Amino acid sequence: MTRSEIVRSVADAVADVAPQARTIAETTCLMGNDAILDSVGFVTFLVALEQKLGNEIDLSTAFISQGTVEESQNPFLTVGSLAAHIELLLGAAKA
């Protein structure tokens, strides 16, 4: 799965949960004050994304178990950071 395909899957999963979202880019915030999703929407998004990725990786458990991390290191912060994180996870799964 290429990086652009992962970004598209993340963006599609956001759109599935947030019909009000007009444009979804790599910089779109998924968490924090500018987040496009509320907490329930975020959970729904993670599960929907796992399904789009063929249930190959467990994002929701990873999210719960990560605890508090520095914002700059939070892979769930934006569409782009999450796509990069998924790329790493998929790579690790194949290795």
Partner 1 sequence: MSDRRTILLIADFTVSGLAGFLGHDEPPPALDATTAPFDQVVPTLLDEHAECWKSNPSFALVWTRPQTIAKTFARMLNHERVPPDAVRAEVDQFVETVRMAARRVAAVFVPTWTWPSYDRGLGVLNMDPTIGPTYFLSKMNTWLAEAVADDSAIHVLDAGRWVAQAGALASHPKLWHLGKIAFGPEVFKHAASDIKAAVRALEGAARKLVVVDLDDTLWGGVVGDIGWQNLDLGGHSAVGEAFTAFQRALKRLTRRGIVLAIVSKNTESLALEAIDSHPEMVLRRNDFVGWRINWDDKARNIVSLVSELNLGLDSVVYIDDNPAERARIRQALPQVLVPDWPADKMLYEQALAELTCFDSIALSEEDRARTRMYVAQRQRQDAEQSAQSIEAYLLSLGLAVTVERLGPTNIVRAAQLLNKTNQMNLSTRRLSEAQFVEWAASTDHHVFVFRVCDRFDDYGLTGIASMTIEDSRAMIADFVLSCRVIGRGVEETMLHVLVDQARSLGLRQLLARYHATPRNEPCRSFFDEKSGLSCDADDLQFSWDLARPYSAPGHIAVRLSVFDQG
Which residues ranging from 42 to 71 are in contact with partner 1 (CB under 8 A)?
43-44, 46-48, 50-51, 60, 64
For residues 49 and 10, is the Cβ–Cβ distance under 8 A? yes
Residue among 32, 38, 66, 88 that touches partner 1 (CB under 8 A): 38
Applying CB under 8 A, which part among 23-31, 32-40, 67-75, 78-86 lies near partner 1? 32-40
What is the rounded CA–CA span in Å between residue 40 and residue 8?
A: 22
Query: Which amino acid is present at 51?
Result: Q
Using CA atoms, how far apart are residues 38 and 1, in angstroms rounded to an integer? 28
Binding-site ranges for partner 1 (CB under 8 A): 16-20, 38-41, 43-44, 46-48, 50-51, 60, 64
